Copies of this chain bind each other. A is one copy, B any other.
């Protein structure tokens, strides 16, 4: 077994979910990730905790959802399992990333809605979402399997304490700030207030890889226009050249080069889907390319991402409005060239170099 698999398991256990003796642990993983799940069982055994492994197999889910036509209910056995667990570890890995492409989106949505109480319960635990480098995921990223393994493990097997300290410098700038302006080339110039909204430091706990700092814009404060450089991959379809224009916080105009209808559908989901729910700064420079996987893409070094839709509760100050929506769709702007981030009138990042990195190599 590749020694990085055991290291990966140790990072999940010891860093991401802070595993202790006696913890009850749920692991959800597809068979492609068997090696990592085996290594996790070894670590969990060593730490004196209690694992149970669920099959996160897309084939099962597809077969079930296509066969079911009645209304869904919240299964009490699954809810009881999640209520009683201390730790929840979800591993992504695919045999075929388009396995559920012929499931009716409405069925999917009805299933998700019935499972919302279980999802909420899960998010109240110590949890981690990570990726195992399966060949189908390499294919989606247009990489060889070996190059993709290197890419995934370079992004994951890091000194996360050092990452936390490095990123804290950006948190210290953004957390007390009022106005943020993002400028890139001639196509992106957008301003928004983050006044009173906390900025969080993601250093590989709930998401592994981590590597971003993020907050929520004040919903009605967003003004200007953004051309997103990186494609959006939504429900199995690629949307390129996404352009959004904001006025009073709302998207008042939008277009895309490819699959604009997917973008339109997202924006028309509900009222909150036309407003921003997140502003994030990608700071993981080991993620040096786009891989059609938001778990990695949004942490890519020298990028900024904005999400239309729901804001995370812990990024919203208690006197501020939390943007509500059924969706949360991230989109990415490349900040590596001809770009800058301005906070309260001061440039804090230019062409991918932060103010606090002046004189440092990147």
Contact = CB atoms under 8 A, between A and B. Distances in A.
Contact of A63 (B45, B50, B66, B86): B45
Interface in A80-112: 80-86
A265 interface: no
A40 to B, nearest CB: 8
- Copies of this protein, total: 2
Contact of A48 (B34, B68, B78): B68
A76 B24 contact: yes
A46 B65 CA distance: 9
A67 B42 CA distance: 5
A72 B55 CA distance: 24
Given A43-B67, A54-B53, A83 B81 contact: no
A310 to B, nearest CB: 26
A81 B50 CA distance: 14
Contact of A50 (B21, B73, B83): B73
A64 B65 CA distance: 33
A41 interface: yes
Nearest to A79: B84
A81 B61 CA distance: 19
Interface in A28-65: 29, 31, 34, 37-39, 41-46, 48, 50-55, 57, 59-61, 63-65
A77 B84 contact: yes
A26 interface: yes
Contacts of A73: 22, 50
Contacts of A61: 41
A12 to B, nearest CB: 15
A185 interface: no
Interface residues of A, number: 47
A75 interface: yes
A70 interface: yes
A63 B66 CA distance: 35
A interface secondary structure, majority? helix
A121 to B, nearest CB: 12
Contacts of A42: 63-64, 66-67
Nearest to A39: B63
Contacts of A86: 77
Given A54-B55, A76-B84, A80-B81, A60 B38 contact: yes
A21 B75 CA distance: 12
B41 A67 contact: yes
A100 to B, nearest CB: 12
B59 A34 contact: yes
A156 to B, nearest CB: 20
B57 A77 contact: no
Given A53-B55, A60-B37, A85-B77, A45 B65 contact: yes
Given A52-B78, A55-B55, A68 B46 contact: yes
Contacts of A31: 31, 34, 55
A45 B68 CA distance: 4
Given A24-B78, A31-B31, A42-B63, 12 more contacts: A24-B77, A31-B55, A34-B57, A37-B55, A37-B57, A39-B63, A42-B66, A43-B67, A45-B65, A46-B67, A50-B77, A77-B85
20 contacts: A24-B77, A24-B78, A31-B55, A37-B57, A37-B60, A38-B57, A41-B60, A41-B61, A43-B67, A44-B67, A45-B68, A46-B67, A50-B77, A51-B64, A53-B55, A76-B84, A78-B81, A80-B80, A80-B81, A80-B84
